[in-house]
Structure 1
């Protein structure tokens, strides 16, 4: 953990640190005024993130939505808190607000996605769940390749409710349903199994 010698960091301190340290490969989250370095994830993490990012961009593009997908970007979650989100979907106007500034969203994304690793289990399932709900993020996906489990959470009255996944294997997601309503064209189906296959180099088509 990293702080200044005499005080905890403010969110503004964190933004300045991000700008000053932009050449570094180390990413930091701000947790109660302390800088927490993020360990580099395994390659399977990046394969899953790329698969989901490509899919979300495809659906957004087909429906001509003013939304964008970002990976490994900052999202403010509290007074002295900012998280690095594996994937998020935001409105284009939110991106325009960041022009010339550190890439940390101060308004909630439409969707946040975290891919679980061995050192992020408690962080993704517990701490980020409560922080993302408090920040007002409407939907949160916890993609857990360690347990082959996908948890989709929808914000209801300030708390997350889990969306049941049916036996078809097709992802049941309010935000994907909203995307599909924007166009009469049939949307490409995505299954939970496809997510795990993306992390398998023998099955990944790339």
Structure 2
């Protein structure tokens, strides 16, 4: 990103492991990256924000999308890094294998989707402003984007800023991404952590397309 579009310090998006992401994600990981309580919180957010019957984009997707089982969507498209994981995802109508850190332009037409999600993956993006600008393009006006995250990650692939911030800082950082990318409004910063100390925390930033 050039300086006119990037309000972040130069080292914000550095990572411990700068080898190609395609190598890291070459082998499938059929595991969940947050526990059941946090997953339920993600599903509830999708129940509240993603429109039933609509076309939904599951960005940075894998073998499970955490969408509510009782809700039917017109179409669910997944974009992720591992084809085996995407192929195994029962909620996807179709999928695209793409490394957003290498190619942040989304292969979809303008105003194609009614909602989108990024689940526990925003911390891996090295060009988040470019990706969120693209999301504003492919979503319809007022369509929601639900970005969720916890305190778990692959440390070597998370950006430096993520490691430097606490939970509240993560919320503010993702909100800054949306502001810097333009085209978003009604941004909400949410703590949806399940009650009890045994569950993973769950946070969300939700925005709507204002274009």
Shorter chain as denominator, the TM-score bin is 0.3 to 0.5
Larger radius of gyration: 1
Q: Higher helix share goes to which structure?
A: 1
Q: Could you tell me the TM-score, scaled by structure 1's length?
A: 0.36
